[in-house]
Amino acid sequence: MLDYRIDPQNPVDLSKRDANELGEWVDRKKEAKKRFKDLQKEIATLQQKLYAEHKHKVLIVLQAMDSGGKDGTIRALFEEVNPQGVKVASFKVPTELELDHDYLWRVHQKVPGKGEIVIFNRSHYEDVLVVRVHELVPESVWQKRYEHINAFEKMLADEGTTILKFYLHIDQDEQKERFLERLTEPHKLWKFNPGDLDERKRWGDYQAAYQDALNKTSTPWAPWFCIPANRNWYRNLCISNIIVETLRSFNMQYPDPIQDPEKYIELLKNA
């Protein structure tokens, strides 16, 4: 698999990233889908171990332009997982109470505890993306946030959280197609928000904000991966592969809190 991790020493230029890229999986869609099925199952098995071991905390951050595929990614990757096994935290326009606090306040409450996987559907990065594009706070305020975010994520990592951040990279043509699909398929119409067209006009501003965020906050303790996402099946394959490799690297073990199960088997026979 190609390595989509962003190396801040070698900053990403989003305008040069091909959202259609399929790496070594060109003309191998069927095989890729089969491989993805295996990864889906492995995520489920590894999640069970993660929960049982009660040691690691996993935070997965998903960011993308509108229609970029965040919801579809969550649905596909965690389809096989016990519904009790993962939590999703979706970050929308902040409430009044949230706005009365610092921007990390609502985020910190949702981070994973031991044995948990939490997926952020949007995240604290909105505070250097939509907030920057729409000038919801002055530049002097949002500019400082990259540093806060790196420090916040470093603290989480130092305290035992493994963080993986995925930017799902689609291009403008793909977004147009996805919006049209939403407008022409009755069961998808609900997803269309006329405001999305205004956001689309700011494509360049958003890309600039994303590019800065990715380059300034891809760290050894919380890396960003820039995933080509025009093709859902390739996106799913890349992301699930990274998650599985990370979970495997934990070398997790089921705990065995009792010494001699045989004794209890005997006791149970006579119970």
Chosen residue from 47, 107, 117, 127 binding ligand AMP by CB under 6 A: 127
21 or 66, CB closer to ligand AMP?
66
Query: Binding mask 3-22 vs Mg ion (x if CB under 5 A, - otherwise)?
Result: --------------------
| Interface with ligand AMP: number of residues (CB under 6 A) | 9
Write down the least CB distance from residue 55 to ligand AMP, Å. 31
Instruction: Assess 122 for contact with ligand AMP (CB under 6 A).
Output: yes
State the residue for tokens 């089969």. Answer: 34
Instruction: Assess 92 for contact with ligand AMP (CB under 6 A).
Output: yes
Distance CA 64, CA 179 (A): 15
Query: Binding mask 72-91 vs ligand AMP (x if CB under 6 A, - otherwise)?
Result: -------------------x
Write down the least CB distance from residue 93 to ligand AMP, Å. 4
Residues of this chain that interact with ligand AMP (CB under 6 A) are 91-94, 122, 126-127, 130-131
